[in-house]
């Protein structure tokens, strides 16, 4: 009922995610394949050049995505890279796509520069509750994350912020994450809910998988607490059955990452998603079905 008051229940927003800078991150996030702290087989690479990113954005638009999200495995954005990224944003906007970036922590002047280039959204997840956070990340604090979100909001960018469930946290921690997100003012326009994809070589490589119904409940509570936000099924969607995904949409999810890869982990392919949408009577928000 909450979902239907604020959204068309049969429309789902489609976003495509491209890793524009892989590996080599100095952070120690215990779930992450891109950390230099763990041996996961992911090699550090340089920032993709402008033409490569534009070609990927063109492909995403052709496949039906309305938003193009770009992620770099950095602890924080360096000033020397701001102009390169601003040019990439301009290219994505020239294609008529919404543009989102996740580049780690950033300052207010950096956020202003990206906003001036046309960036629509900035993603910076809180990951989990403040109480559980220190068991997952030690290289920067929960306050650092909140400060970055404040810089993003103050620059006039839309906020994309969510978390990861299945890290070994309790239901209370999942509720705490959603409570913190819901008390941001204003609330995030986009809330990605990730289901942990265990990666061999990370400290969470053998953690027990979260029960699918617990994940669906998390989606439902996110929808009730943040009625106007887009709640996105993000990493881990491949581990859900079609029926599990259907229940997530029924519970209030109305956005997905669309494509065959999320950073370094798999994702359902375009055609599989199209078939599922057809079976459920769903269509892409914006008409690009």
Q: Are strands 11-21 and 67-72 parallel, antiparallel or unpaired?
A: parallel
Residues 157, 19: Cα–Cα separation, whole Å:
21
Find the distance separating the first CA and the last CA of the chain, reported in whole Å.
25
Q: What CA–CA distances, in Å, run from 190 to 15, 175, 205, 213?
A: 11, 18, 28, 22
Token output for 283: 């269509």
Residues 176, 145: Cα–Cα separation, whole Å:
15
248 an active-site residue?
A: no
Chain mean position to CA 239: 17
Catalytic residue among 32, 67, 145, 237: 32
Residues 256, 17: Cα–Cα separation, whole Å:
10
Catalytic residue among 54, 160, 174, 248: 160
Residues 131, 129: Cα–Cα separation, whole Å:
5
Token output for 218: 């998390």
Catalytic residue among 29, 54, 67, 248: 29
Residues 136, 159: Cα–Cα separation, whole Å:
23
Q: In which element (H, E) is residue 176 found?
A: helix 171-182
Catalytic residue among 145, 232, 237, 248: 232
Catalytic residue among 100, 145, 174, 223: 100
Token output for 117: 């280039």
Provide the b/e sequence for 13-29 (b: ≥16 CB within 10 Å): bbbbbbbbbbbbbebbb
Catalytic residues: 25, 29, 32, 69, 100, 160, 232
């Amino acid at each position: 009922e909450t979902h239907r008051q604020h959204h068309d229940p049969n429309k789902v927003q489609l976003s495509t995610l491209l890793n524009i800078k892989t590996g080599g991150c100095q952070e120690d996030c215990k779930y992450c394949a891109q950390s230099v702290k763990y041996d996961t087989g992911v090699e550090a690479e340089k920032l993709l050049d402008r033409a490569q990113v534009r070609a990927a954005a063109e492909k995403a638009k052709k496949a039906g995505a309305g938003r193009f999200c770009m992620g770099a495995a950095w602890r924080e954005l360096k000033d020397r890279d701001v102009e390169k990224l601003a040019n990439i944003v301009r290219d994505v906007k020239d294609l008529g796509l919404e543009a989102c970036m996740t580049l780690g922590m950033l300052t207010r002047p950096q956020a202003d520069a990206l906003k001036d280039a046309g960036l629509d959204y900035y993603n910076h997840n809180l990951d989990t509750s403040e109480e559980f956070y220190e068991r997952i990340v030690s290289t920067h604090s929960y306050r650092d994350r909140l400060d970055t979100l404040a810089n993003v909001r103050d620059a006039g960018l839309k906020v994309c912020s969510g978390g990861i469930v299945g890290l070994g946290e309790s239901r209370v921690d999942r509720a705490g994450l959603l409570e913190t997100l819901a008390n941001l003012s204003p609330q995030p326009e986009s809330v990605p809910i990730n289901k942990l994809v265990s990666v061999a070589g990370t400290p969470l490589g053998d953690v027990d998988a979260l029960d699918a119904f617990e994940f669906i409940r998390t989606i439902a509570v996110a929808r009730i607490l943040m009625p106007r936000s887009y709640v996105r099924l993000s990493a881990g969607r491949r581990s859900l059955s079609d029926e599990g995904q259907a229940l997530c949409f029924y519970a209030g999810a109305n956005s997905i990452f669309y494509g065959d890869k999320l950073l370094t982990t798999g994702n359902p392919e375009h055609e599989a998603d199209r078939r599922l949408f057809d079976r459920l009577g769903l269509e892409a928000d914006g008409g690009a079905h």
